[in-house]
């Protein structure tokens, strides 16, 4: 419950001119991991953002989630900073700017 509240209150913060749009999480069932499902979901999300006119978004992910950090970097996320969403736990902030990809 505490982490849920921390996440809700974090969302209300405005830091470093971050985009309003945010991907909170991508979770893939264990049986489907390593098969490109997260990549497909991410690409669908980007397509949906573009359709809705959203060309900037962010992801905040726990620094200790190394595989997730690598995934977001592989998907083109630009590391901006570290922050603390959950007390005593560092998180990494990534940003995407899709302005150059408008079609």
pTM of the model: 0.77
Give, as one character, the DSSP assignment of residue 20. Answer: S
DSSP, collapsed to helix, strand or coil, labels residue 75 as coil
Phi/psi of residue 14, nearest 5 degrees: -115, 115
Note down pLDDT in tens along the chain; length 103 residues: 655 555 555 554 555 578 888 998 898 999 998 999 999 999 999 999 999 999 999 999 999 999 999 999 999 999 988 887 667 789 899 999 998 654 4
Say if residue 22 is exposed, middle or buried (CB neighbours under 10 Å; 0-12, 13-18, 19+). middle
pLDDT score for 77: 94
């Amino acid at each position: 419950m505490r982490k849920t509240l921390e996440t809700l209150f974090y969302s209300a913060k405005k830091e470093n001119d971050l985009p309003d749009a945010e991907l909170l999480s991508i979770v893939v069932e264990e049986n489907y991991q390593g098969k490109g499902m997260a990549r497909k979901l991410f690409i669908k999300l980007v397509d949906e953002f573009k359709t809705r006119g959203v060309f900037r978004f962010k992801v905040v992910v726990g620094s200790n989630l190394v595989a997730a950090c690598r995934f977001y970097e592989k998907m083109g996320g630009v590391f901006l900073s570290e922050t603390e969403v959950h007390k005593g736990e560092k998180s990494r902030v990534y940003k995407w700017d899709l302005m150059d990809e408008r079609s």
